[in-house]
Structures are given as C-alpha cells and as structure tokens.
Amino acid sequence: MTKEQKDNLFVLIKSLSKSEKRQFKLYVGRLGVNEDSKFLMLFNVLEKMQSYDEDLILKKGFVKKQQLSNLKAHLYKQILISLRLNPSHQNIRIQIREQLDFATILYHKGLYKQSLKILDKAKGLAIAHEEKNIAYEIIELEKVIESQYITRSIGSRADELTQQSKLLSKQNSLASKLSNLSLQLYGLFLKIGYVKNNEDYQKVRDFFNDRMPSFDIKTLGFREKLWLYKSYLWYSFLVQDFLSCYKYAKRWVDLFYNNEDMIKLNPVFFLRGNQYLLEALFFTKDHKRFKSALEEFENITRKDWFPINDNIEGLIFLYTYANKFNLHFMEGSFHEGLHIVPEVLDGLKKYKSRIDEHHVMVFYYKIASLYFGIGENKKCIEYLDKIISNKSLSMREDLLCFSRVLNLVAHYEAGLDYNLDSLIKSTYKFLIKMEDLYEVQKEMIKFLRNLGNIYPHELKDEFSKLHKKLKQYEDHPYERRAFLYLDIISWLESKIQNKPVNVIIQDKFKALNS
C-alpha cells in the first residue's frame, strides 16, 4: 500500500472549516481585483482534491511547474493572514501583539506619545494575562522611546521601567529554566522510558536535582508555577511515583481552576493537566476520584465559554475516550464499554489529521483489550494485528511488546493453535531484541517458550507456577506498571479458577471499593 503524499498547503486547506473557507474567499476578493488570481485558482483546485496530486494541478494549465512552488508559498501566506483576521482565532495574545505592532508603527512615524499610550495599555493586558515575554518586549520599546526622545513623562519613569524590566527578566529567566527542565525530562522519558531499577532511579534523581533552579514559591506567578508542576510531574512519572504524579497533576489543574481566565488563554495546557491527573488516578486505582475527575473534565469542556478549535476538539476526543476505556478497565465492565467502540472509530476518522499514529495504536490496543475481557478473542486479534503489522511505529516499545504478548494469549484462548509454535517463536524473537526488559516480561518469555512442551493436563499447574512468580511483582515499585498494559495476573487467575477474566476483575474491583 503506497503512503498518501503529504503537502503542507494541502493539509492546511483541508483543515479549514466552511466559515474559514468563506472568509478566505471574501478576504481575497475584498478589492475586486483578485477574482482570477492564480493563487485563488490554486486554492479552488486543492479544495476539491481528495488527495494531493501535483500532476493534476499542472494539467489545469494556469501555472507552470517552475512557478508552482512560489505560488503555493504565496497562497499559504494569504490563508494564514485570513485566519489571523478570523474572530474565532482572535485571543488576548494576538490582541496584545497587534497593539505592539500598532505602537511600533506610530513610533516610526514619530508619534511618540501615541505610541507610549498604546504600549502602556498593552503592557497592562500582558501582565494581567501572564504574557510576560510580550510584556518584556513592550517595556524594552518603552525604554527606547523614553531614552531617545523628550516625551515630558513623569520624573520617576526611568526608575519605574528599570524595575519592571528587572522583575520581568528574572521571572522570564526562571520560567525558561523550568520549561527547559520539563522538556529535558520528557526527552529523557522518550530516550530511556520509565526507570527499571535503583541505578536508573539514582541517575534520573541526580539529573532532576542538578537542573532544578532555586525559587521562592510565594513569589511565583501562574506561568512559573505551571512549569514547576510540569517538571515535578514528569520526574514523578519517570520514577513511577504515581502518588506524586497525582499530587502535581492536581496542583496543575487547580492552578487553572483558581485562574479561570487562563483556561481560555491556555486551553491545551489545561486539557493536558487533566489528562495527567486522570492517568495518575488510573495508575493508583483510585476509582472514586477518577470517575469524579472524568465527569468534571467532560462537564467543563462542554461549557459554552470553553474555547474550541480544531486542535482542541481533537484533544478533547482523545482524552475523553481514552479515559472512558480506562474506567471500564478499572471496573471490569467490558461488556458495558462496547458501545464506545464505534464512537471511537468514528472519531478516529473525523480527527484523522489531528491525532498522531501512536495514539491511534493506543486506541486499537484498548479496543483489543476490551474484546479480550469479554472473551471475543478473534476481534481482539483483529485490532492487535493493526498494531503488530504497523512497521512505521517506532516509539513506545512497551506497547508493541504487550500487543504481541496479548496477541499470543488471545490466539491460545481462541483455540487457534495451528500456528501457535511459529507465533511463539516470532514473539520470543521480538521480545529478546528489546533492551532492559521488565522482570515480568522475562518471566512471560520463559513461560511462552515452554508452552509448546506442556501437556493439557499440566496447564493448570503451570499457570499456578507463573501466577506465583508474577504475583511478587504486582506491588513492585518498578515492575507493577507492566500489569497496567496487560492484567496477566487476572488472566492467570481466570484459568486457575475457571472463571471469565472480566468476572475476576469485577470481583477485585468490588473488594477494593467495598
């Protein structure tokens, strides 16, 4: 299967809503001289295409091959200008930038007082909305005007601007250090994954402590606190301290609830904070708080005032349904969760261009796990095959690992043993290629290798032996996370007790929440 050709301009046009397309055409024709412009003709051709086809564009005859690149660049710029003018994309950050642009124009025209008046108003808006980088830019321009020209400002003006500049510079520097640390921790996570032993833990702890800047929490503003909580959250995830993950995710979310205007200005950060909060509660099996947080998340994202755009719609879908699945996994209510599968598949089609491939594969794994939980093993295998056969998925080896293990278990459960030996060998070969396997994974490899040598009447004893070995890792600080991908303990108990796996999980859930 050939991969669909991607083109930035084509993807941008396909992302436009009907109202945005209409506004673009009005914007182009505002002077009545652009109706036959080549870039508008190119827009109309691309709008009608289902997939990008350069040959088809050239066949239209309005542009030559050597001109196409420049025409596309011009059209791309015009679309962005049109989008910037669209009221739905106007937020306080763009408004402040616009005021700064206006003040700069007035300054260059020599209208210094008018420029300073706009700058003072824009600076107030920037500081009130925690846009401290823009506020610092504004003050720097104020200093230029005040130092170069006699504006007859108040005598203390120079000291006032100097103090404001120093304070903002200090706050911006701290925010930059904290945001750098947060990003470095995320990079570390992509590179080494979760810590697997005490040596890993010590390295990550030293890395974190060495880079954490000194600060006084009482003097921190919204933005500095946000980056601080993000840094601590990523550190907690890396070392698998899920209670601390909950603690800092909760502070992150509460920071927004205590500054509601910031939700409108930074909705993506608000959504991500809620996702980490729900993830931490899922990892700690705190069903009551998880269910409450999920309901609160769904309620606030439905509010009329909650900002909505293409990106945010996609994130709301992603986080809402991922956690709906997790709720059913916690409760063992696999049958009840089946109704959301078609909703998710429809959503994946709708938000195809806004959800990355990795998250699509995570959804397939969750759907497969849901079918496994109710014993529909062939449907489980169908969705696992979408992950296993995906050769372009290079991230998250743990997802690929447990997909293959679950696939093997599902084949065994479905009685598809005609190719079980070859499947065991291919799974084993894949797993031994992985570096730094969890002990849980190593025990699974040993068990799978010997599966073909076990007689049917010996199976229950072998299940019991594996259960005993794995049970010791269920609460292990570095190993327990493996069971969140595949509840192999409950599956083994279902085989030993001759009960469906969903009944085993439901019984555990009731005992935990009684």
Give the number of other CB atoms < 10 A from CB of residue 164: 18
Q: Which pLDDT score, from 0 to 100, does residue 378 have? A: 92
Whole-number percent of the chain with pLDDT over 90: 41
What's the average model confidence in pLDDT over 167-183? 92
* CB-based contact 264:305 (threshold 8 Å): yes
What's the average model confidence in pLDDT over 157-176? 88
Residues 6+ apart with CB under 8 A from 287: 330, 331, 509, 512, 513
Q: Does pLDDT of 436 surpass 70?
A: no
- pLDDT, tens only, 369-410: 999 999 899 999 999 999 988 876 655 667 788 888 888 888
What's the average model confidence in pLDDT over 136-157? 77
Q: Which pLDDT score, from 0 to 100, does residue 88 have? A: 63
Q: Does pLDDT of 152 surpass 60?
A: no
Q: Does pLDDT of 7 surpass 70?
A: yes
- pLDDT, tens only, 195-207: 888 888 999 999 9
What's the average model confidence in pLDDT over 424-442? 76
Q: Which pLDDT score, from 0 to 100, does residue 192 have? A: 74
Q: Closest Cα partner for 126 from 114, 139, 116? A: 139
- pLDDT, tens only, 241-273: 999 999 999 999 999 999 988 998 899 999 999
* CB-based contact 44:65 (threshold 8 Å): no
DSSP for 139-202, please give it.
HHHHHHHHHHS-----TTHHHHHHHHHHHHHHHHHHHHHHHHHHHHHHHHHHHH-S--SHHHHH
| C-alpha–C-alpha distance, residues 89 and 104, integer Å | 23
Q: Which pLDDT score, from 0 to 100, does residue 181 have? A: 94
Whole-number percent of the chain with pLDDT over 70: 93
Q: How far is CA 368 from CA 76, 288, 365, 390, 481, in A?
A: 41, 25, 5, 15, 19
- pLDDT, tens only, 298-307: 999 999 999 8
Q: Which pLDDT score, from 0 to 100, does residue 355 have? A: 85
What is the 3-class SS of 404-437, one letter each residue? HHHHHHHHHHHCCCCCHHHHHHHHHHHHHHCCCC
What's the average model confidence in pLDDT over 267-282? 95
- pLDDT, tens only, 126-136: 998 889 999 99
* Dihedral (CA of 474, 445, 365, 190) sign: positive
Instruction: Give Cα 425 distance to the centre of its chain.
Output: 35
Q: Which pLDDT score, from 0 to 100, does residue 3 have? A: 43
Q: Which pLDDT score, from 0 to 100, does residue 236 have? A: 95
Q: Which pLDDT score, from 0 to 100, does residue 1 have? A: 36
- pLDDT, tens only, 469-499: 888 888 888 787 777 777 888 888 888 888 8
DSSP E strands in 318-448: the ranges are: none
Q: Does pLDDT of 160 surpass 50?
A: yes
Domain ranges of the chain: 8-89, 92-153, 396-514
Q: Which pLDDT score, from 0 to 100, does residue 396 have? A: 63
| C-alpha–C-alpha distance, residues 234 and 212, integer Å | 13
Q: Does pLDDT of 123 surpass 60?
A: yes
- pLDDT, tens only, 340-375: 999 999 999 988 878 888 889 999 999 999 999 998
Give the number of other CB atoms < 10 A from CB of residue 365: 21
Q: Which pLDDT score, from 0 to 100, does residue 4 have? A: 47
Q: Does pLDDT of 76 surpass 70?
A: yes
| C-alpha–C-alpha distance, residues 46 and 44, integer Å | 6
Dihedral (Cα; 284, 317, 315, 277), 10-degree rounding: -20
- Provide the pLDDT confidence category of residue 319 given band limits of 50, 70 and 90: very high
Q: Which pLDDT score, from 0 to 100, does residue 2 have? A: 39
Stated pTM of the model: 0.82
- Provide the pLDDT confidence category of residue 43 given band limits of 50, 70 and 90: very high
Q: Which pLDDT score, from 0 to 100, does residue 509 have? A: 87
